[in-house]
Each structure stands twice: as structure tokens, then as C-alpha cells.
Amino acid sequence: MLQTTDNKTIPKASRAAPRVRPLHVVLAVGGLALLAGGGWWVVDHMGVITTSDARVRARMVTVSSEVTGRIVELPVAAGDTVKAGDVIARLDDREARLALDAMSLDLQALEAQIAREKMRAQLATARGGSRIDSSRSGLAASEAEAATARARLQAVEADFARTVTLKSSGLVTQATMDRATASLETARQAVVSAEAAIERSRAGIGEAEAEAGEAHVIAGNVDALVIEASALRQRIAAQTLTLERHDIVSPVSGVVDEVFADRGEHVATGARIALAHAPDDVWIEANIKETDLADVRIGAIVEIRMDAASGACPGRVERIGDAATSEFALIPNANPTGVFTKITQRVPVRVAIGAACTQVRPGAMATLRISTAR
């Protein structure tokens, strides 16, 4: 339909509003979305440090054999829960048990020998003391008899001298002289016998003292046997410990992560049997850029998001490392070419995990948001 103005015809559509193109709408909406997203990102990252270079750590305990032997029992498998002291593996202990039994029998025999030697020492002491007393009494009697014999000899010698004088005067007969001579000889023999008895008594005292000295020798032997028995008891204690070590037990209450041996396998001292960890002794180790480290403080609140679980759980900064992770590299970068490229280093930060966190397994990855609020 046409309208005329000043004798000119103008189309009606030419006066309508301009159309909005779809591309403009998409660009406008996209710009608003980017603006909103950027604003949210700025707000979300204000006052926090975010890192995904974080993983769960645990005190992994390697259970090793302390003795050599063949595994006869292996009651655990990976994933089993154990308590401290539970048997992880049991080695063949027959040889160690036989050695312990032999040592115990040797100790019994040695203790019996000690008892016999002590009895010998007591008997030797008693006999020696009794013989010394008897010999001393005999010596006293012999000395008394010798004194009597000497006195008698003096009297007989005086009588003999008078008899000789009388004989020279012809006042006594030859028979009287013969009797005087015989009496003198008898008195002299009595003195000799008495002195011999004294020597025998003294010799008896010496023998008795030697027997008493033998008791001291036996006592010394007893002391040596006692020391030997003490050393044997120490060996028995060591062998008992060796026998106990044939039962390889878990040092921690936790979870068995891996088993390295099989039943029937012969293991050497120090061989790894299993690997375990305590679930309540885990933490997160995050590697934080050194440029962000100034804003991290011990005790700071941390939001933890485990990759294996949905939702967030709380944590806190427990420790900040004193050296960058590059210092612990197996192959240090010596930069022999002289070409230097500066790379931001990372420092390990230990984060304590809250009780609400789930799926916390050693080695699991996590994303952390560390609050920098003071």
C-alpha cells in the first residue's frame, strides 16, 4: 500500500525500526558472560592461593624380615586391615627352636655342675677346718709329750751320771750299770719319738691347710662357672628374640597396601614382606610457588577438594618447608651450557586433613585453596 506526500510515493517498510542481528546478540551475551565470569574469578581468588599440585602423603611403613627363613604362613593380603602386633608372615622356626632347646639343656647341666662344685667347696672347707683343728690338737699333745720326754731324759741322764761315778768307785755292779745305760737309751728314744710326733702333727696341719686351700680353688671354679652360665643366659635371651622374630608382625595399626612375598618363598634378613600405613596418620603435601609463599602462614585455613571425592572438606597449614623441591631432585640441574632460564620454584607445604575428608588415600591428588587472611 502506498501513501503520497508532495506527489511522491514512499514505501511503508522504509520507515520501520532496524532489525537486531543474531550475531550481535550472541556477542553481547558472551561479553556479559565473560565479564561475569571474570568478576567471579577475581572475587573467588581474592584472599586465597589455589593449587592443584597437591597429593596425600602417609607414613608408609615397610615390614621387613629380621631373620632368614622360609615363609610358612602369610595370613594377609593387600587391602587387609591389621592391628599393631598382628602377624604379617610366619617363618619356619624349627631350627631356631631346636637351638634354643639345646641351649636350655646346656644351662641346666651347667647349673647342676655349679651346685655340685659348691657342695664340694663346702665339704672341702669343712674337712680342712676339722683336720686343722685335729692336727693342732695333736701338735699340742705331741709338744707336751716331748716336753715330758725331755724332762725324763734329763732325770735319766743325771741318774746315769751318778751310776757311772758309783761304778768307777766299785759301789754298783755291772748289772746296775747296764740298767742305767738301757734307761738312758730308752729316754733318748722317747724324746726322738716325741719330736717325730711333733713333725707329723705339723705336717698334718699343712695338709689340712692345703685341703682348705682346695676349697678356695673350687670356689674360684664356681665363680667361673657362674660367669659361663650368665653368658649362656644372654645367648638364650638372644636366641629367644631370634625365635620371636620368626613371627613378622605389623608395627602399626592400619591398612596393608602391598605384599611383596609369597608363601613358601625363602627370604633373607632385611627382605621386604609388606607395606602398610596408618589411615589416621595422613596429610597433604602441596607444592606452592615461591612467589605465593609470603602469603602462606602456619595455621591458615585450607579448603580441600579431593579428586576422588565430591565436595570440599577443611584443613589447615601445619608446616612450611625450608627448601625448594628442586633441592631434592635425584638429578640436579648443573646448567653446564651456561644458558639460564629462570623457573619459579616450589616449596612443599604440609596441610593437616580434617576429619570430614573422605577418599583420603596415599598418593591421591587434591586441589587446595589456602586462605591468606590474617
16-20, 149-153, 263-267, 315-319, range with the lowest pLDDT: 16-20
Nearest to 65 by CA among 329, 334, 267, 265: 267
The DSSP bridge partners found for residue 368 are 51, 304
Q: Cα–Cα distances in Å, from 158 out to 137, 149, 174, 186? A: 32, 14, 18, 14
Cell digits of residue 208 = 689340712
Tell me, what DSSP letter sits at residue 298?
Answer: T
Range among 143-157, 163-177, 260-274 rated most confident: 260-274
The DSSP bridge partners found for residue 81 are 255
**pLDDT at res. 1:** 40
8 CB burial (10 A radius; 0-12, 13-18, 19+): exposed
**pLDDT at res. 2:** 39
Q: Whole-angstrom Cα distance, residue 115 to residue 122?
A: 11
Q: Whole-angstrom Cα distance, residue 261 to residue 270?
A: 13
Asked if pLDDT for residue 299 goes beyond 80, the answer is yes
Query: Average pLDDT for residues 198-219, to the nearest whole number?
Result: 72
Cell digits of residue 171 = 759301789
Residue 13: pLDDT band with limits 50, 70, 90: very low
Q: Whole-angstrom Cα distance, residue 98 to residue 104?
A: 10
Residue 147: pLDDT band with limits 50, 70, 90: confident
Query: Average pLDDT for residues 340-355, to the nearest whole number?
Result: 88
* Sheet bearing 69-73, strands edge to edge: 247-249, 87-91, 69-73, 266-267
> For all residues of the chain together, what is the average pLDDT?
83
On the question of a common fold for 62-93+246-276 and 94-244, the answer reads no
As a CATH number, domain 62-93+246-276 is: 2.40.50.100
To the question of pTM greater than 0.75 for the whole model, the response is no
Extract the runs of DSSP E, i.e. beta strands, from 235-298. Answer: 247-249, 254-259, 266-267, 272-277, 282-289
Render pLDDT for 156-175 as a digit per residue (tens, 0 to 9).
788 778 877 777 777 777 88
Report the CATH architecture of 94-244: Orthogonal Bundle (1.10)
Q: Higher pLDDT residue, 208 or 347?
A: 347
Tell me, what DSSP letter sits at residue 310?
Answer: S
Cell digits of residue 111 = 647349673
**pLDDT at res. 31:** 75
Asked if pLDDT for residue 248 goes beyond 90, the answer is yes
Domain range list for the chain? 62-93+246-276, 94-244
How many Å separate Cα 45 from the centre of its chain?
52
**pLDDT at res. 152:** 82
Asked if pLDDT for residue 224 goes beyond 50, the answer is yes
SS3 label, residue 63 = strand
Query: Average pLDDT for residues 83-94, to the nearest whole number?
Result: 96
Q: Higher pLDDT residue, 108 or 43?
A: 108
Asked if pLDDT for residue 304 goes beyond 90, the answer is yes
**pLDDT at res. 10:** 47
Q: Higher pLDDT residue, 298 or 46?
A: 298
Render pLDDT for 19-77 as a digit per residue (tens, 0 to 9).
656 766 677 777 777 776 665 555 445 578 999 999 999 999 999 999 999 999 999 99
Residue 125: pLDDT band with limits 50, 70, 90: confident
287 CB burial (10 A radius; 0-12, 13-18, 19+): middle
**pLDDT at res. 38:** 60
Q: Higher pLDDT residue, 335 or 168?
A: 168
142-146, 192-196, 314-318, 364-368, range with the lowest pLDDT: 142-146
Residue 198: pLDDT band with limits 50, 70, 90: confident
